[in-house]
Amino acid sequence: MKPKSVKVVVFADLDGSLLNDKYEFHEIEPILHQLLSLNVSIVIASSKTRSEIEYYRKKWQICDPFITENGCAIVIPENYFKISHEFTKQTVGYKIIELGTDYRIIREKLAAVKNRTGVNIVGFGDMTVEEIAKDTALPLHLAKLAKKREYSEPVKIIDGHEKEVLKAINDEGLCHIMGGKYLHILGNCGKGPATSILKKLYLLQFNKIISIGVGDSPNDLEMLKIVDKPFYVNKSADKKAIWKEIKLFAQAQ
């Protein structure tokens, strides 16, 4: 096989894009392995935590960087890029570019929002692992990983005026993004800026890249605007057909 002159990088959401509504991935997994065999980089960009994404990366044997909690952090495996680049902190095996706000601050400001509005708002920090599992339909071991938050809080407004809550969140200097099931409260960041930063690093390393994006929610739209070839997975879309198209496109490069 002749060496490729173009590096293909796929930025992919998890829920609704790689996983179905039962968190299954059997239809897409073989195509993922085929993409990896073509030296395509698979960058998972999700609202999920670092621990959750690590679980799927290990399952699929993906070794590429990933974007956590709706763009709050870019996690880059150590020695992945040969070029030097800035990063915020280093942990075992990773260099991390932090774009979001610390989870403790998010929780403190959420408490201020609750006090100010009197609205009943429930976040993952208020719930047990068992309650998260029941509400999300996640198995317990994945619900435990979902609770290991570093930068953002998924919440539900149980009763009260949503507009009042959203204004109070903004007044606290925070942002909010609507995901598939939850309102995500986070700092001033998003998948778009994180994708842009990572694209620049890939360009510095490989000189020529083609970026592909796959997402299914409003929180993916920023990311899809940044990539060269976006795929929006709506509810009626044939997800497997989309991933087959991505594979054929990568093979042609």
pLDDT at 204: 94
What are the Cα distances from residue 131, in Å, to 139, 144, 177? 11, 10, 22
Of the candidates 69, 94, 223, 214, the one whose C-alpha atom is nearest the C-alpha of residue 146 is 69
For the question of residue 216 being annotated catalytic, the response is no
Of the candidates 99, 55, 53, the one whose C-alpha atom is nearest the C-alpha of residue 198 is 99
Measured in residues, the chain has a length of: 253
Return residue ranges of the chain for CATH 3.30.980.20. 103-186
Q: Indicate the CATH number of 7-100+190-252 among 3.40.50.1000, 3.20.20.70, 3.40.50.300, 3.30.540.10.
A: 3.40.50.1000
Which residues of the chain are under the pLDDT cut of 70? 1-4
Which of 13, 64, 216, 220 is catalytic? The answer is 13
Return residue ranges of the chain for CATH 3.40.50.1000. 7-100+190-252
CA distance 143 to 153: 14
3-state secondary structure of 97: strand
Q: Does domain 103-186 have CATH number 3.30.980.20?
A: yes
Of the candidates 191, 14, 63, the one whose C-alpha atom is nearest the C-alpha of residue 199 is 191
Task: Spell out the residues 6+ positions from residue 253 whose beta carbon is closer than 8 angstroms to its own.
Answer: 4, 5, 6, 8, 210
Cβ 216 vs Cβ 17: under 8 Å: yes
Question: In the numeric block, which tokens belong to residue 138?
Answer: 């996640």
